[in-house]
Chains A and B, each alone.
Chain A
């Protein structure tokens, strides 16, 4: 798991979205129209003017050439002048540079909003396009109450989950201390799934998560490297004939690392808006990671339970969608589709559990694997827009 965390700790890498089909594209514009892309509509931005130059406004696909005449980088958004909703934005336009901005413009009232780095926000003049021609959708920034509700519920969820995981790891440690390895294997799965159900928080956990749920990737000695610790280290030993005496140290260390994380977590605070971005980003990344590490079998260190992990990740995704519900009010139809595919994916995965035993990914038939992979792919495609929507919405 080490790699995924490093890659994704920063919200900025949301663009990695591997299954980018996220948006079912509306009709594309013809090649003829495309030739007008380069000229576009020249728009000037600075700390004084924002959006100067939009004349003869028309509907349809528009390309604005945003030119920053100030000495500072500027964030520029095209907004709905009535609701404040954001259609599109470009962050960090460099001084003296010009960047294209494309938008599907319909009837309505538009205004550019400029945030000059280290300076004030400037809202440009309102441009009104009459009629009833539909254009692209705008994202209304989440309100303070919704943001706080989402963030607060996430903290409560993680706090409770860490407590449960800590208790379950203590039981795992006790089973190993008692040399009851069959019981330890069962306790390991229970505790690991609880941790994997935490979902969004791993990015914030940083090096704690490396220690608790990291793979040996990047360690020269692989599974035998002394720095290989945590759930997967214990799994490797429990399913590769290691003795209780060989494993007790790793189990104790796992318990201690979890306790350290529980102690540190209250101090890991983001501004609410950043915490919301983080939460939204990981709402699709949890399943992205499940595809990469669990549905592929890559993170199977012997127990053959990566499908169980994937199901825990589905639970985590559901939990996060619940937390985000207060800020997703305008996204209800899409959300219904997400839940429908989460259900379908979960049903397919649950079908691989019989009598407490999980089919390892390597034991799936081609058809079973493909069915699961299809459902997982659609799920992440539908989830991906959430990350974009909350990627950098203005502070409420």
Chain B
């Protein structure tokens, strides 16, 4: 007999005749004391500092991928443009709270608790970022936004090696929630959906994680290879302006300033098959060493491959993944993308095979010039036998929220 039952006694003592009356028995001070002696005492968890929500850009785009993430696509059910505005305001105000943290307001007896409690009585920020994107479908006839659509935003292209499931593709809004701990991510997702169910519904969701560096350096994907070694320098503002942030002077609506095109591709890896491939073949497919991430023509993880010195692909095959993805020529320099991928693990499929892979996510200024150009070069690369893209979508990550009076998408709706 614990608190949960005694707490109900004012109801139970009112019952006559119907149902079961649970008597409050056996309650003693001893049981109370016993309940307060935990078997295991654990130290408080180190918490990541808060990542400021307000700024010219959304806060989750440039930082390195966090340890835990959830990628969720929603369909908007708002009945009007006004309700859509309310939705984006609600998302913004929840993110503003969740990324700072604090004590949720008490509701007394006037309602259920205002917070799920899974982070304890005081919400901690734990480095949370929530990156919000909009899909091409949001710009259909429903909300009168057709003339506001970012110039290069379109439904996701189906590439020749894809096996897309429509139920796991697209969506009006994307949320990428990322933080230090999985409970932080889930708390944020639960809080946001609780406040926004009225105007949007989950279309698809996938949870991701970043592996710890093994043993050091860039974290590995679930094929065992370091993934994302060669990313643009996020501390170089000029490079970010040229590769990541939308350029309103290039045919884009003015409101897109500060935003970025977000491409999400859900890619299953056939882990069992992959594990039956020799390491030499694996390495030649990627073009990098599996043990330390070095390009096959060099010794260190961050060494730059010299394709000019290997024109026939004797060391790094011409169809190796890294060589096709980034040929490192002046002509392809502006097709580079900012990769922010997460590994995923969804248990097993219905025939017992491991269901794991990559939530490929990247940001760029122009998806035609960048992701699609890269992906076109990768068509029929040797790696395609071991992977299967099955979902995802193209979104436009909205410009940042300047301050407390601003909200996500304000300039889009203005």
Least Cβ distance of A12 to chain B in Å? 3
The segment from A43-51, A162-170, A232-240, A363-371 found at the interface with B is: A363-371
In the complex the two chains form, is B14's CB within 8 Å of A274's CB?
A: yes
Checking B9, B104, B115, B197 against A377 with a beta-carbon cut-off of 8 angstroms, the contacting residue is B197
Bound CA–CA A388/B9 (angstroms): 15
A contact residues, range: 35 or more
Whether, in the assembled complex, B107 has its beta carbon less than 8 Å from a beta carbon of chain A, the answer is: yes
Whether, in the assembled complex, B24 has its beta carbon less than 8 Å from a beta carbon of chain A, the answer is: yes
Given A11-B11, A15-B112, A29-B103 in contact, is the A269-B32 Cβ separation under 8 Å? no
Whether, in the assembled complex, B29 has its beta carbon less than 8 Å from a beta carbon of chain A, the answer is: yes
In the complex the two chains form, is A24's CB within 8 Å of B11's CB?
A: no
Q: Considering residues A15, A20, A25, A267, which has the most beta carbons from chain B within 10 angstroms of its beta carbon? A: A25
Residue of chain A at shortest CB distance from B28: A95
> B118-134, CB under 8 A of A: which get 1 and which 0?
00011111000000000
Residue of chain A at shortest CB distance from B33: A96
Least Cβ distance of B47 to chain A in Å? 11
Residue of chain B at shortest CB distance from A271: B14
In the complex the two chains form, is B108's CB within 8 Å of A385's CB?
A: no
Contacts of A377 in B (CB 8 A): 197-198
In the complex the two chains form, is A28's CB within 8 Å of B3's CB?
A: no
In the complex the two chains form, is B110's CB within 8 Å of A37's CB?
A: no
Least Cβ distance of B113 to chain A in Å? 7
Bound CA–CA A24/B201 (angstroms): 18
Whether, in the assembled complex, A247 has its beta carbon less than 8 Å from a beta carbon of chain B, the answer is: no
Bound CA–CA A139/B10 (angstroms): 17
Q: Which of B134-187 contact A (CB under 8 A)?
A: 167
In the complex the two chains form, is A374's CB within 8 Å of B111's CB?
A: no
For chain B, the count of residues having a C-beta within 8 Å of the partner chain is: 58
Residue of chain B at shortest CB distance from A91: B7
Whether, in the assembled complex, A332 has its beta carbon less than 8 Å from a beta carbon of chain B, the answer is: no
Given A87-B109, A269-B16, A374-B201 in contact, is the A28-B195 Cβ separation under 8 Å? no
Contacts of A104 in B (CB 8 A): 105-106, 108
Whether, in the assembled complex, A27 has its beta carbon less than 8 Å from a beta carbon of chain B, the answer is: yes
Given A29-B105, A33-B103, A374-B200 in contact, is the A20-B112 Cβ separation under 8 Å? yes
In the complex the two chains form, is A28's CB within 8 Å of B103's CB?
A: yes
Given A11-B8, A96-B32, A388-B110 in contact, is the A381-B103 Cβ separation under 8 Å? no
Contacts of A388 in B (CB 8 A): 107, 109-112
Bound CA–CA A110/B104 (angstroms): 22
Q: Considering residues A10, A78, A384, which has the most beta carbons from chain B within 10 angstroms of its beta carbon? A: A10
Residue of chain A at shortest CB distance from B108: A88
Give the A-binding residues of B (Cβ under 8 A): 3-12, 14-19, 24, 27, 29, 32-33, 36, 50, 75, 77, 79, 97, 100-116, 121-125, 167, 194-195, 197-201, 203
15 contacts across the A-B interface (CB closer than 8 A): A12-B4, A12-B8, A15-B112, A20-B116, A23-B112, A28-B123, A37-B122, A73-B24, A92-B3, A104-B108, A136-B110, A269-B17, A274-B11, A375-B77, A375-B198
